[in-house]
Structure 1
Amino acid sequence: MGLGLLAACDQAPRVQRAVDDCEAELVSLRVEVVSAEGAHIRGATVTGTNVTSNVSITGVTDERGVTTAINESLAPSPVRVVATAGAKVSPAQQVEWLCDSCNCRPEPATVQLRLNP
């Protein structure tokens, strides 16, 4: 009788689940940090702060001077992005987030922050 029940379960109707077109990973802003002379800065600290809630995310640049730590979890309000390396600080740039029913995307998608001399 146990085998009969298993066979019956195999022929049970199946429910088709809707395909989720939303991205599972958070969309990130690409931030590149360069010196006043244009050299890529490894180990710079980049902070993105939501201008409405004051919530922030901080990341550190890799060997190419890039971080993608700032992501759509700070959206939908504008995000102020600034970089520091030692005593050098970049001017802040503002990034807008364009949101649909699934994700928010940064506008612009890439920001270059130049450290003050």
Structure 2
Amino acid sequence: MERAGDDCQAELVSLKVEVLSADGARVRGATVTGTNVSSNVSITGVTDDQGISTAINESLAPSAVRVVATAGAKVSPPQQVEWLCDSCNCQPEPATLQLQLNP
């Protein structure tokens, strides 16, 4: 019995992004934006009570994605994520990003 398609995930794979203040505290309500460096398409999300956003997902793959966080006038340095794709889904590398806002 052929089951090749059954292992594919129906949900989009997401990147976990944690946003920290300059002193290391988790930031609730920070805006996280991921932008595909080839197409310039972007996804934006907001961090939850734990300072985490999972809004950026594999719909931006397969190109590299530049990720940045902002909270008010504070901005994090951008980081880049690569998406490694197989026949079903794409996985972010790294799977988790930690962005620290500038003081």
Q: Which is bigger in relative contact order (C-alpha 8 A, separation at least 6)?
A: 2
Q: Which one has a bigger Cα radius of gyration?
A: 1
> What is the distance in 2 between the residues matched to 1:115 and 1:34?
6
2:21 matched to which residue of 1?
35
Report the number of matched residues.
102
Deviation beyond 6 Å, 4+ runs, structure 1 = none
Shift of 1:71: 0.1
Q: 1:3-57 deviations in whole A, cap 9, x for unaligned?
A: xxxxxxxxxxxxx884521000000000000001000000000000000000000
Higher strand proportion (structure 1 or 2): 2
TM-score calculated relative to the size of structure 2: 0.96
> What is the distance in 2 between the residues matched to 1:42 and 1:65?
5
Is 1:26 aligned to residue 12 of structure 2?
yes
Structure 2 residue runs of 5 or longer lacking an equivalent are none
TM-score calculated relative to the size of structure 1: 0.84
Identity of matched residues, % = 80
Q: CA RMSD in A?
A: 1.2
Query: Mapping of 1:1-80 within 5 angstroms?
Result: 18=3, 20-80=6-66
Aligned to 1:87, which of 69, 73, 95?
A: 73
Structure 1 residue runs of 5 or longer lacking an equivalent are 1-15
